[in-house]
Amino acid sequence: MNSLMGGLEEMMAAGDNLDFGASGEEGLGGDDEDLLMLQKAVQNALDKKKQAVVKKQAAVLEEARAGAQKRVAALEAMIVKELKDAAAGVRSSAASSLRRLDAKMAAMNELSAKYQQTMSDLWNEYDTEFSELGSALEKHKTAVENRRQGIKRKIAQVAQENEAALAEARKRVEAEKGRAVKMPQLAKLLQSLM
């Protein structure tokens, strides 16, 4: 309704610009001319109206385009922010995970070094104990051999002593025998004396 009123106002303004002459009689004589001028005025009004509508449409489209660009820019900014936040989260999480993994690796390396040191120490102790056991067994073997040799010497010595004692005993037995042989003679002598 407002656009129709605006169009009529423009037509009236265009009609004010028409020159019908001072008395108006000349204008009455040329109806064709007046009609052409009226038609031209209406056409001008319609053209202006069309231009105004085109301008208004262009303004609406420009506003819509600007709004769309603004929304696209806001969406792009939101996507960029979300991607940055996600990347920062991933970096933070990865950094935290890497720190924990480094700590675990350090703990495993420390444990492995302790294990290797403990194994080395135990192997050295085992080797020392084994060597000491070998030395102790060798000493015991030598001691047993020495004792065996000592016992053999004592057995030989006792055997010699027994041989000597036996020889001495035989001598005494023989001496006693000789006396015993003499004794019956002595007994005979004593008997003859009696």
Q: Which domain holds residue 104?
A: 2-109
| Predicted pLDDT at 171 | 87
| Assigned domain for 177 exists | no
**For residues 168-183, average pLDDT:** 75
| Total number of residues shown for the chain | 194
CA distance 51 to 129: 113
Number of C-beta neighbours around residue 7 at 10 A: 16
Give the chain's domain count.
Answer: 1
| Assigned domain for 159 exists | no
Question: How far is residue 55 CA from its own chain's centroid?
Answer: 66
- Say yes or no to pLDDT of 191 above 90: no
Q: Which residue has the tokens 């001691």?
A: 143
Q: Could you tell me the two tokens for 126?
A: 């085992």
CA distance 185 to 181: 7
CA distance 128 to 187: 84
Q: Are 21 and 27 in contact (CB under 8 A)?
A: yes
CA distance 74 to 82: 12
Instruction: Output DSSP code: residue 23.
Output: S
Whether this prediction's pTM lies above 0.85 is answered by no
- Say yes or no to pLDDT of 194 above 80: no
| Predicted pLDDT at 21 | 43
CA distance 78 to 75: 5
Cα angle: 128, vertex 148, 165; to 5 degrees? 160
Q: pLDDT (tens digit, 9 = 90+) per residue, 35-59? A: 899 899 899 999 999 999 999 999 9
| Assigned domain for 150 exists | no
| Predicted pLDDT at 183 | 62
| Assigned domain for 88 exists | yes
| Predicted pLDDT at 124 | 95
Q: pLDDT (tens digit, 9 = 90+) per residue, 95-145? A: 999 999 999 999 999 999 999 999 999 999 999 999 999 999 999 999 999
